[in-house]
Copies of this chain bind each other. A is one copy, B any other.
Amino acid sequence: MARLKTSEVWRKARKARLAARAAARLDSQTKNKILLSMADYLEQGLAVVLKANAQDVMAARPRLPASLLDRLILNERRVKVMADGLRAVAKLPDPNKRLVERIKRPNRLRIEKITVPLGVIALIYEARPNVTADAAGLCLKAGSAVILRGGSDAARSNQVIVRILRKALRANNAPEDIVQSIETTSRRAVTELLNLRGYVDLLIPRGGAGLIQKVVAESSLPVLETGTGNCHVYVDEYADVRKAVRITVNAKCQRPSVCNAAESLLVHQKIAARFFGALKMDEVLFYACPRARRYLPQARPAREADYAREYLDLAMSVKIVDSLDEAIEHIYRYGTKHTETIVTENKQNAEKFLREIDAAAVMVNASTRFTDGGEFGFGCEIGISTQKLHARGPLGLRELMSYKYLVRGQGQVRA
């Protein structure tokens, strides 16, 4: 037998592996009680959470830009939102042991395909302490243990939150080891985490493109890539201009920092004058093709790389196209297969767009911002997958499950 590895990552991975069996056996009622306890304890621990968070914020303020600092900050309202999130997860149906399919074979074998927990889910994410509670709650409900590795700028907040979540597990006679968090901030700890073969069944990186690239390149674990979105709005020749303006403004401006915000605008040349005449988006910095700059004199000229950028800000590339086909080709070339939307009243064009665009969500006359677990009716999400294996688009509880086949025979053997 190989010598036991004793680092924090390996110790906690072994604990999580064991706790995963207990997590898988928890009945729905117990899981829901734990989730409600987690919510209550978080609210009761408000003062401790805010104190730890204030220390994190103070330490991070000199080095973090305002947008990242904002995600780090907790206050009474945000802690309440975390707690209510856990309560909402408690209300969702249990995704475990669902019958997916029943097969009867000519040899009288009866086969059932049922959902089962993945086992151990690891999550690497940025300095956003609310993700700590969200992810732990979702993984618990999915019957899996979780190993959390949050951004080091949120270390103190996460430590306190995890302590509270584990207290709720203990209080309900469930193993606290179902929720693990890695506190070592070294790179080596991350490298170890990325290579916990046999201990982690799914690794979800949540964060910027750099983090996701690193994880994919270095990890030997099954990974679900999330959240790179160069989403396009295509204003078709046959668009309703009012809808087109409303959708473009919403897709770009309602919350520019998220992955389902639009980053690129394509406009059919026949509707360009009317559309740009109606568009009021002075707060947005456009990177536009020469033809579009005639309508957007304030725009910067677009270089090719600008069409591929995920701005995550009040900025956007713009291109005028001569046809639906050109729009589809542009999206094929520069898109990230997250969410693409066409604005059109022409049913044929709508259906062609739906059919030919390869993305997690393809939309007609709707804002790209709708690609979201809550908006899709999943009740929650742990991220948005931009890969094609396992799950695509919003990752709700169902997407955090695996399955197994139960085969019942009466002594059958193979001929």
- Point out residues on A near B: beta carbons under 8 Å: 1, 21, 24-25, 103, 105, 109, 111, 116, 118-119, 197, 201-202, 216-217, 220, 222-224, 240, 242-243, 246-247, 249-251, 254, 304, 332, 341, 350, 354, 356, 358-367, 369-371, 375-377, 387-390, 392-393, 402-414
Contact = CB atoms under 8 A, between A and B. Distances in A.
A236 to B, nearest CB: 13
A369 B414 contact: yes
Nearest to A215: B220
A355 to B, nearest CB: 8
**Which one of A111, A350, A404, A410 has the greatest number of beta carbons of chain B within 10 Å?**
A404
- How many copies the complex holds: the figure is 2
10 contacts: A25-B356, A119-B388, A197-B216, A201-B387, A202-B388, A222-B223, A224-B389, A354-B406, A362-B407, A375-B414
Contacts of A402: 388-389, 392
A306 B119 CA distance: 26
Given A367-B413, A371-B407, A393-B405, 13 more contacts: A217-B220, A222-B387, A222-B389, A224-B389, A247-B413, A251-B413, A354-B406, A361-B404, A361-B405, A361-B406, A364-B407, A366-B412, A371-B405
A406 B362 contact: yes
Contacts of A359: 404
Contacts of A406: 354, 361-363
A377 B390 CA distance: 22
A259 to B, nearest CB: 14
A263 to B, nearest CB: 16
B201 A109 contact: no
B250 A363 contact: no
A390 B389 contact: yes
Nearest to A201: B388
B197 A404 contact: no
A216 to B, nearest CB: 5
A358 B116 contact: yes
B393 A390 contact: no
Nearest to A305: B1
Contacts of A408: 350, 354, 363-366
A367 B414 CA distance: 7
A365 B407 CA distance: 9
A119 B414 CA distance: 35
Given A389-B222, A413-B254, A414-B254, A404 B364 contact: no
A124 B353 CA distance: 34
9 cross-chain pairs, A with B, having the tightest CB-CB distances, nearest first:
A366-B409, A250-B413, A243-B411, A388-B402, A390-B390, A222-B389, A363-B407, A369-B414, A361-B405
A407 B109 contact: no
Contact of A407 (B250, B361, B409): B361
A19 B281 CA distance: 40
A388 B220 contact: no
A365 B410 contact: yes
Contact of A363 (B103, B350, B371, B409): B409
Given A24-B358, A389-B222, A250 B414 contact: yes
